Amino acid sequence: MAQAYDVAEEWLVKNQQQMIRCPYQPGNLFISKKACSKRYKTGKKGEINNPKRDNSFFYTVKRGLSLCRECSVGKKAVYSSPMIRRQRRTTEHPRVAA
């Protein structure tokens, strides 16, 4: 158990720039930028309103993700990720073949 704690602690020290304090997580918890961007994108998808998935478990998930839909921190995390920047660059400035 102590070994797992040490590994997690070591990872956090090396990757602290990837962590943010989420305003919607209870207890003022840290969440990675990647997890934040995933929550934001999932909250924006139409699947969150899928009536086939209306059960007590999914209700809890849906409530949590509904907070992320309009989060400015999540939006910033999505658009600051390297993959999104690459995609936006290629769609905004397509290369012209000579």
Q: How are beta strands 19-21 and 30-32 bridged, if at all?
A: antiparallel
Burial annotation 25-53 (CB, 10 A radius, 16+ → b, else e): beeeeebebebbbbbbbbbbeeebeeeee
Q: Each residue of 12-65: pLDDT tens digit?
A: 888 888 888 888 877 878 888 898 988 888 888 766 666 566 667 777 777 778
pTM to 2 decimal places: 0.63
